[in-house]
Chains A and B, each alone.
Chain A
């Protein structure tokens, strides 16, 4: 049964990707491609679709893992401050006009900020040789506030253009998607995803609590550390690809649990696929509704996702919250 549902999700993902390639401000007939159409599809839309797919997958899977290791249904990939660290570094680069490595500069800075923050949160979250959920969560929230404050300070001191570009980036801007970002993005995101999927049993055990996880033959602290590393990789890569996109990491895992249950072996890949589908659709909408203007994709995911989630919350017997 779960296999059929996963297969359906994969089919849905493919369909959405195909639609996203040919629909948009300029409708393209796949059977009759002009040179301009070809450029639009292969140089602009395909990298954008792939990046939204990768980001959505990273956020959905990270959310599913984090809610488990922190034993908190409200956890999302941004709660650990990783994204705030990424935003701070990226905004600093944008405002200072850095470009040591061309268009790659800002994503590289964001990735560095995210990984550094992840390491700091991990170090603060450690005590007596283990990573403790509450410490990790509070360290993340604390650091998040600090970085947000520094970011606001920096934005308030910056020029109008720096401010505008930084804010756009922070809210999730997929319009800058290009092929060069895909190799590194996919390596980190797929590595994190595979790592999490191989530890699905351990994640199930951690959800039952550290003592039961121990009794079932796992070392809770080691498993939590490994899963935290997988979340760190996925979140850092995702934020550096296209900024912060809300909703997906928090609510996609819950939506998937409604339909496919809580077993992490199914939940992690399904939340990844669900996140990919949602961000592809959201991005398609964000560039289609008010052309030539683009809405930030994060706003669209929240506007279409939240009402659906609230509807499910009313209709289904929500067991996970």
Chain B
């Protein structure tokens, strides 16, 4: 296929993981992420989305299986070298210490001895927060806070962003803004994004969806392929109808 031209930048092979002995949260999971991908990780609460992202970022180590980053064992990287390639943003960013936005975004430079091309100001401009560089994080809205950390990852210069529920607690306007910002970054800068989410209608906007249940992949492909009524019922234990908007787009109708 096109894999010769678009190699996998992240690959999980037969990964299993458990927090406590005995019960596997993730069972024999395999998938790969190619350069420029835009993947939504969809599943019910407790399905293992966060765990998959933490395994993919090297925060958690699998009990068995392999995690490779740019065809190299994830754990053979030096911490700083890994940080130049892959970036993980947790779901909760509850930071009460009075850091200024500028200071936080500059922390993206920490893995580097020689700063990369993307300047702090440029990153702030891209996420629309240039005029708030001197503001404190705690004074910003939830949507703006998310964008601060997106700017930090841009400065960090990693080609792969793993985002854990970045849309949680954002109102619908900020959700769309964040998605279009990430799409823009993917298109303009070839940044790959893997994002956990739980809104099925939002998932329809992704190029690829990975549907998760009990730590296993139910389906991985385009939303049309994966998000069928039966698979949604299977994953979320709810009954839905997929309808067609008059303009042609599909949407999910909850019974």
The smallest beta-carbon distance between B146 and chain A, in angstroms, is: 13
Whether B87 and A215, one on each chain, are in contact in the complex, defined by CB atoms closer than 8 angstroms, is yes
At the interface, is chain A mostly helix, strand, loop or mixed?
Answer: loop
A205 within 8 A of B: yes
- A205 CA to B97 CA, complexed, in Å: 12
27 contacts between A and B (CB under 8 A): A204-B99, A207-B97, A208-B93, A208-B95, A209-B90, A209-B95, A211-B54, A211-B59, A211-B90, A212-B149, A214-B57, A214-B79, A214-B88, A215-B57, A215-B59, A215-B83, A216-B108, A217-B79, A217-B82, A217-B83, A217-B84, A257-B98, A262-B97, A319-B98, A320-B96, A320-B97, A320-B98
Q: Which residues of A contact B233 (CB under 8 A)?
A: none
The smallest beta-carbon distance between A228 and chain B, in angstroms, is: 19
The smallest beta-carbon distance between B159 and chain A, in angstroms, is: 14
B138 within 8 A of A: yes
- Complex: chain A residue closest to B88, CB-CB: A215
- Complex: chain B residue closest to A207, CB-CB: B97
Q: Which residues of B contact A134 (CB under 8 A)?
A: none
Which residues of chain A in 198-244 are interfacial with respect to chain B, using CB atoms and an 8 Å cutoff?
201, 204-205, 207-212, 214-219
Whether B89 and A212, one on each chain, are in contact in the complex, defined by CB atoms closer than 8 angstroms, is yes
B136 within 8 A of A: yes
A263 within 8 A of B: yes
Whether B80 and A217, one on each chain, are in contact in the complex, defined by CB atoms closer than 8 angstroms, is yes
Whether A263 and B103, one on each chain, are in contact in the complex, defined by CB atoms closer than 8 angstroms, is yes
- A214 CA to B87 CA, complexed, in Å: 9
Whether A214 and B96, one on each chain, are in contact in the complex, defined by CB atoms closer than 8 angstroms, is no
The smallest beta-carbon distance between B154 and chain A, in angstroms, is: 13
The smallest beta-carbon distance between A86 and chain B, in angstroms, is: 29
Whether A208 and B79, one on each chain, are in contact in the complex, defined by CB atoms closer than 8 angstroms, is no
Q: Which residues of A contact B57 (CB under 8 A)?
A: 214-215
The smallest beta-carbon distance between B63 and chain A, in angstroms, is: 13
Which positions in A face B, CB cutoff 8 Å?
68, 73, 201, 204-205, 207-212, 214-219, 257, 261-263, 319-321
- Complex: chain A residue closest to B149, CB-CB: A212
Which positions in B face A, CB cutoff 8 Å?
54, 57-59, 79-84, 86-90, 93, 95-100, 103-104, 107-108, 110-111, 136, 138, 149, 156
Q: Which residues of A contact B100 (CB under 8 A)?
A: 261
Q: Which of A201, A214, A218 has the largest count of B CB atoms less than 10 A from its CB? A: A214
Q: Which of A68, A208, A319 contacts B138 (CB 8 A)?
A: A319
- Known A207-B97, A208-B93, A209-B95; 20 more pairs at CB < 8 Å: A68-B97, A201-B110, A205-B107, A210-B59, A211-B59, A212-B89, A212-B93, A214-B79, A215-B88, A215-B156, A216-B83, A216-B107, A217-B81, A217-B83, A217-B111, A218-B110, A219-B79, A257-B97, A263-B99, A319-B138
Q: Which residues of B contact A321 (CB under 8 A)?
A: 96
Whether A217 and B110, one on each chain, are in contact in the complex, defined by CB atoms closer than 8 angstroms, is yes
Q: Which residues of B contact A218 (CB under 8 A)?
A: 79, 110
The smallest beta-carbon distance between A11 and chain B, in angstroms, is: 25
The smallest beta-carbon distance between A171 and chain B, in angstroms, is: 31
- Complex: chain B residue closest to A216, CB-CB: B110
- A257 CA to B97 CA, complexed, in Å: 9
- A208 CA to B183 CA, complexed, in Å: 26
Q: Which residues of A contact B80 (CB under 8 A)?
A: 217
- A219 CA to B82 CA, complexed, in Å: 11
- Complex: chain A residue closest to B81, CB-CB: A217
Contact A214 to B97, CB < 8 A, known contacts A204-B107, A209-B90, A261-B103: no
Whether B98 and A262, one on each chain, are in contact in the complex, defined by CB atoms closer than 8 angstroms, is yes
- A59 CA to B81 CA, complexed, in Å: 35
Q: Which residues of A contact B97 (CB under 8 A)?
A: 68, 207, 257, 262, 319-320
Q: Which of B54, B89, B99 contacts A262 (CB 8 A)?
A: B99
- A212 CA to B145 CA, complexed, in Å: 14
Q: Which residues of B contact A208 (CB under 8 A)?
A: 93, 95, 104, 107
Whether B90 and A212, one on each chain, are in contact in the complex, defined by CB atoms closer than 8 angstroms, is yes
The smallest beta-carbon distance between A56 and chain B, in angstroms, is: 23
The smallest beta-carbon distance between B86 and chain A, in angstroms, is: 8
Q: Which of B84, B99, B111 has the largest count of A CB atoms less than 10 A from its CB? A: B99
Q: Which residues of A contact B103 (CB under 8 A)?
A: 204, 261-263
- A82 CA to B138 CA, complexed, in Å: 33
Q: Which residues of B contact A210 (CB under 8 A)?
A: 59
